[in-house]
């Protein structure tokens, strides 16, 4: 009753920001992401009658309080499906910083979902895994798949799942990440998006707009139309941050460096470098580009004042048992 | 046929961004500002049969091209009202940098309007002056008045004018400006707002929202309720910048320093310093505060990395002939 799984993080090209149903993790809008090879979580789960309580160890540290509760709630869901009440020991290792907008909870919950269900001997389809994973952390459902992935919003739990748009072999798109801050953000995504839905006057308009450009992004991925992919990605990122800024109280996830990098990326395009920015709920900037520009983008990003680290990613695989 | 006028700049607490009628300078939403004592333009206008063409000298430099055209068009409007076709010589001096979001065109066109109409011997009410000035540069109509001023959007030219909410003696509110960039912005307000109206999906929602909180801001001014004034001012600024960010192509008027200062101002409030930020179409940050905090705000702003100059303003007077 022990299993280990590896799941990759993902970068959303169309963001998930805002729940229609906070209990079931049903999002207001569908979203699209690329799974990232270099950022991943490895999680081992063991169930045993010998355990008196759940123990969660992340990067060598035992979780307590709200962070532990979040994982225990997810284990409860999986125990319910697996018809068991055995306690678990979860040991998880992330190869990248937590909570700085690198979607650590995406890879963490995808790996946890697969490791735990597999430890209980459950044989689930990827669709089923994505539905379960979604209830631990929304965007984690996209990490169940490699390549380019859509999370269909749906109106009930069974309709809100991830689906692969194209596998990683389809198109070699890169994400060069400029890390400007490694600390956890002050306002978690979960709290932030709840505030946005409640107080931002532009939020429903954003949802409506996503419905218009999401099919165009999927077509751009299938057609390998990089310019369209980049333009939709940037617009969607700005649209999300526009709703964050107009949330009460304001959510300003950007740092000074975020603005500096965004302006740089835009100016590089004038020189012919095909690169587009996107920023999650944090200050780090993801530069979406093509293989031929990666070396130059890495070099330029690392020379920008305030950039602490540059992580270059290709497209990753499905979450898998290892 | 010669007259000299002095007009102050103003800082909008509810911004003007977007024209309903670009020819008549009718805005989509009403706006509210404070006139600023320390930022002003002095303009002398002389009409004479001896002049073969209009000459416009601003800060010692003769204007040509589009910049000259803008002034000549305004002179034409005033000549039409004054029933003359005499050419003019305009000499204007600004005591602050142009085009960096300090509303230089507001004081410039208010001073030009009063100096030119007065040189022609026209006796106009402030309301009439504001209607004329508006057609040279929208926000200049608010600079006709000192104190706290509302520009009523209106639906026809005669209904789109400024009105004083309260004179400067009513309430001693300060604007401590952190200048981070003195160069002119790349995209003028005129071009930027036209793009926003055309392409931003949130724009009409912003207009609708302004209609809700503008009466609350006016009440806050009349009641001297600084917290409400500050909160509405910040929200309106963020709402405008949210529409700018979601304009195609993106309008990112902020610089890295803008973000740094905004975050600082928010953190100062936690220490009990009553200060709120607002940012026009440029990177400079206006910190709206009360007299008792001015010294501390000036000190802190001047210590922030990237701040080139700090200009401390009180509330200014009406535009007047000098």
At A100 the pLDDT is 53
Measure in Å the smallest separation between the Cα of A174 and chain B Cα atoms: 23
Whole-number pLDDT of residue A162? 98
Report the phi/psi class of residue B311: left, alpha or beta, with left for phi > 0 and alpha for psi in -120 to 50: beta
DSSP H or E stretch at residue A83: none
Q: What are phi and psi of B93, to 5 degrees?
A: -125, 125
Interatomic CA distance for residues A119 and B180, integer angstroms? 58
The answer to whether residue A247 scores a pLDDT higher than 90 is: yes
Q: Is B228 on the interface with A (CB under 8 A)?
A: no
- A201-246 pLDDT tens trace: 999 999 999 999 999 999 999 999 999 999 999 999 999 999 999 9
Give me the pLDDT at residue A99, please: 55
Q: Which residue from A318, A13, A313, A15 is spatially nearest to A147, judged by alpha carbons?
A: A318
Q: Are B108 and B140 in contact (CB under 8 A)?
A: yes
Given the cut 0.90, state whether the ipTM is greater than it: yes
Q: Give the one of A242, A256, A257 whose C-beta lies nearest to B242's C-beta.
A: A242
| Residue-averaged pLDDT of chain B | 95
Position B281 confidence tier, pLDDT thresholds 50, 70, 90: very high
Residues in A closer than 8 angstroms to B262, CB to CB, are: 252
**For residues B100 and B238, which has the higher predicted lDDT (pLDDT)?**
B238
Strands A87-94 and A55-58: parallel
Q: Pull the structure tokens for residue A242.
A: 């526009």
CB atoms B238 and A260 under 8 Å: no
A260-296 tens-digit pLDDT: 999 999 999 999 999 999 999 999 999 999 999 999 9
Q: What is the mean pLDDT of residues A72-89?
A: 97
Residue B316 phi, psi (nearest 5): -95, 175
Assess contact for A283 and A101: CB atoms under 8 A.
Answer: yes
Cross-strand pairs, A313: A175
By DSSP bridging, strand B55-58 and strand B26-27 are: unpaired
pLDDT at B84 over 80: yes
Q: SS3 of A130, please?
A: helix
Q: Which of B307, B308, B275, B271 is nearest to B291 (CA)?
A: B275
Cβ–Cβ gap A241/B245 under 8 Å: yes
A122 touching chain B per CB within 8 A: no
Mean pLDDT of B62-68: 93
Question: What pLDDT, in 10s, does the model give residues B93-130?
Answer: 998 766 555 667 899 999 999 999 999 999 999 999 99
Q: How confident is the model at residue A188 (pLDDT cuts 50, 70, 90)?
A: confident
**Is some CB atom of chain B closer than 8 A to the CB atom of A201?**
yes
Tell me what pLDDT residue A141 has.
Answer: 98
B43 contact A CB<8A: no
Taking each helix axis as running N to C, give the angle between helix B256-270 and helix A256-270, from 0 to 180 degrees, rounded to the nearest 10: 170
User: Is B238 within 8 Å of chain A by CB?
Assistant: yes
B120 neighbors B128 (Cβ within 8 angstroms): no
**H-helix segments, A147-225:** 189-199, 203-223
Residues in chain A, how many?
Answer: 322
Q: Which residues of B touch A250 (CB under 8 A)?
A: 234-235, 238, 266
What residues does each domain of chain B span?
A: 2-167, 174-313
Q: How far apart are CA B256 and CA B94, in angstroms?
A: 27
- pLDDT for residue A103: 62
Q: At what angle do helices B294-303 and B256-270 cross, to 10 degrees?
A: 140
Using only C-alpha atoms, what is the Rg of chain B?
A: 19
**In DSSP terms, which residues pair with A7 in a beta bridge?**
A41
Interface membership of B269 toward A (CB under 8 Å): no
CB contacts, 8 Å: B246 with chain A: 235, 238-239, 242
CA-based nearest residue in chain A for residue B261? A256
Q: How many CB atoms lie within 10 A of CB B135?
A: 21
Chain A residues in contact with B239 (beta carbon < 8 A): 201, 246
CATH code at A2-167: 3.30.230.10
Cβ-nearest to A238 among B235, B246, B260: B246
Residues 6+ apart with CB under 8 A from A314: A36, A37, A38, A168, A172, A174
Cβ contacts (< 8 Å) between A195 and chain B: which residues?
none
* Interatomic CA distance for residues B276 and B17, integer angstroms: 20
pLDDT in tens, A147-161: 999 999 999 999 999
- Quick check: B264 contacting A, CB < 8 Å? no
Structure tokens at A201: 């006057």
B73 Cβ partners below 8 Å, 6+ apart?
B136
Q: Is A266 near chain B, with CB under 8 Å?
A: yes
Give A79's contacts (C-beta < 8 A, 6+ positions apart).
A85, A86, A120
User: Can you say how many angstroms the Cα of residue A126 is from the centroid of all Cα atoms in its chain?
Assistant: 17
| B270 reaches A (C-beta below 8 A) | no
pLDDT score for A189? 87
> In chain A, which residue's Cα lies nearest the Cα of B200?
A239
Cis peptide bond prior to B208, omega within 30° of 0: no
Spatial separation of the C-alpha atoms in residues B126 and B5, rounded to whole Å: 14
CA B196, chain centre distance (Å): 18
| pLDDT over threshold 90, residue B186 | no
Q: How many CB pairs under 8 A join A and B?
A: 70
CA distance B251 to chain A (A): 10
Measured CA to CA, the distance from residue B227 to residue B178 in angstroms comes to: 21
CA distances from A152 to A109, A156, A164, A166, B11 (A): 18, 11, 11, 15, 45
Average pLDDT over residues A123-134: 97
Give the span between the Cα atoms of A214 and A217, in whole angstroms.
5
Which of B227, B238, B285 to mutate: most A Cβ within 10 Å? B238
Closest partner residue to B260 (CB to CB) among A205, A209, A256 is A256
Distance from CA of A249 to the nearest CA of B (A): 9
pTM given for the model: 0.95
8 A C-beta contact, residue A206 and residue A243: yes
Gap from A46 CA to chain B (nearest CA, Å): 44
- Coil, helix or strand for A305? coil
Q: What is the DSSP letter of A141?
A: G
Q: Is B250 on the interface with A (CB under 8 A)?
A: yes
Local confidence band at A110 (pLDDT 50, 70, 90 cut-offs) = very high
A contacts of B266 (beta carbons < 8 Å): 250, 252
- Kindly state the DSSP code that residue B126 receives in the 8-state scheme: H
Q: Strand ranges (DSSP E) for chain B? A: 2-14, 19-21, 26-27, 31-48, 55-58, 61-62, 87-94, 148-151, 162-166, 174-179, 275-278, 285-289, 309-313, 320-321
pLDDT confidence of A183, banded at 50, 70, 90?
Answer: confident
**Chain B residues with CB inside 8 Å of A255's CB?**
259
Topology annotation, domain B174-313: Alpha-Beta Plaits (3.30.70)
**According to the model, what pLDDT value does residue A153 have?**
97
Residue B195 touches partner A, C-beta closer than 8 Å: no
Model pLDDT for residues A31-51, shown as the tens digit of each residue: 999 999 999 999 999 999 999
Say whether residue A199 is in contact with chain B using an 8 A CB cutoff. Answer: no
Could you tell me the end-to-end alpha-carbon distance of chain A, in angstroms, rounded to an integer? 14
Pairing relation of β-strands B31-48 and B2-14?
Answer: antiparallel
Report helix, strand or coil for A259. helix
Residue B189: the pLDDT is 87
Question: Is the minimum CB–CB distance between A196 and chain B shorter than 8 Å?
Answer: no
The percentage of residues in chain B with a pLDDT greater than 70, rounded to a whole number, is 98
Give the closest-approach CA distance of B96 to chain A in angstroms: 26
Option in A234, A241, A259 nearest B256 (CB): A259
Contact A245 B241 (CB under 8 A): yes
Q: What's the distance, CA A177 to chain centroid? A: 14
pLDDT for residue A95 is more than 90: no
């Amino acid at each position: 009753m022990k299993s280990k799984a590896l799941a990759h993080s993902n970068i959303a090209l169309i963001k998930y920001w805002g729940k229609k149903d906070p209990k079931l993790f049903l999002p207001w809008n569908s979203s699209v992401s690329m799974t990232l090879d270099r950022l991943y979580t490895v999680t081992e789960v063991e169930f045993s009658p010998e355990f008196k309580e759940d123990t969660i160890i992340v990067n060598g540290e035992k979780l307590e309080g709200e962070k532990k509760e979040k994982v225990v709630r997810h284990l409860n869901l999986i125990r319910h499906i697996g018809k068991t009440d055995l306690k678990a020991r979860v040991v998880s290792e992330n190869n990248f910083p937590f909570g700085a907008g690198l979607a650590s909870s995406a890879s963490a919950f995808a790996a946890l979902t697969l490791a735990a269900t597999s430890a209980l001997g459950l044989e689930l389809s990827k669709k089923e895994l994505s539905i379960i994973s979604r209830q631990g952390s929304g965007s984690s459902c996209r990490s169940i798949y490699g390549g380019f992935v859509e999370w269909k919003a749906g109106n009930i739990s069974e309709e809100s799942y991830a689906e692969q748009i194209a596998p990683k072999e389809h198109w070699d798109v890169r994400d060069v990440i400029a890390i400007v801050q490694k600390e956890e953000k002050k306002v978690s995504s979960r709290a932030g998006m709840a505030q946005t839905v409640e107080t931002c006057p532009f939020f429903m308009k954003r949802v409506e707009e996503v419905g218009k450009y999401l099919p165009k992004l999927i077509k751009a991925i299938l057609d390998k139309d990089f310019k369209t992919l980049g333009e939709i990605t940037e617009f969607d990122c700005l649209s999300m941050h526009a709703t964050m800024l107009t949330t009460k109280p304001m959510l300003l996830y950007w740092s000074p460096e975020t603005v500096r990098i965004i302006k740089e990326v835009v100016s590089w395009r004038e020189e012919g470098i095909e690169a587009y920015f996107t920023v999650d709920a944090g200050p780090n900037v993801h530069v979406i580009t093509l293989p031929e520009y990666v070396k130059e983008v890495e070099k330029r990003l690392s020379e920008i004042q305030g950039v602490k680290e540059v992580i270059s990613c290709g497209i990753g695989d499905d979450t898998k048992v290892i």
